[in-house]
Amino acid sequence: MKFFADTAEIDDIKDLAATGLLDGVTTNPSLIMKSGRDFIEVTREICGLVDGPVSAEVVALDHAGMMAEAEKLRKIADNVCIKVPLTIDGLKTCKALSGDGTMVNVTLCFSANQALLAAKAGATFVSPFVGRHDDNGFDGMQLISDIRLIYDNYNFGTEILVASVRHSVHVLEAAKIGADVMTAPPAVIRGLFKHILTDKGIEGFLADWAKTGQTI
- Give 86-133 pLDDT, tens digit per residue: 999 999 999 999 999 999 999 999 999 999 999 999 999 999 999 998
- How many beta carbons lie within 10 A of that of residue 178, not counting itself? 14
Give me the number of domains the chain comprises: 1
CATH code, domain with 21: 3.20.20.70
Nearest-angstrom CA–CA distance, 87 and 60: 12
* 39-46 average pLDDT score: 95
Q: Which residues neighbour 15 within 8 Å (Cβ) at sequence distance 6 or greater? A: 186
Residue 34, pLDDT score: 87
Q: Which of 164, 57, 153, 171 is nearest to 112 (CA)?
A: 153
Catalytic residue check, 34: no
DSSP 8-class letter at 131: H
pTM of the complete model: 0.94
- Report pLDDT for 111: 97
How far is it, in rounded angstroms, from Cα 192 to Cα 179?
17
Mean pLDDT of the chain: 96
Q: Model confidence over 149-179: pLDDT tens digits?
A: 999 999 999 999 999 999 999 999 999 999 9
| Helix residue spans in the chain (DSSP H) | 10-17, 29-35, 39-49, 63-73, 88-99, 112-120, 130-135, 140-154, 168-177, 186-191, 196-212
Quick one: CA torsion of 45, 47, 51, 54, rounded to 10 degrees? Answer: 140
User: What are the pLDDT digits (tens) for 188-210?
Assistant: 999 999 999 999 999 999 999 99
Range of the domain at 155: 2-212
The percent of residues in the chain predicted with pLDDT above 90, rounded, is 94
From 14, 83, 92, 95, the catalytic residue: 83
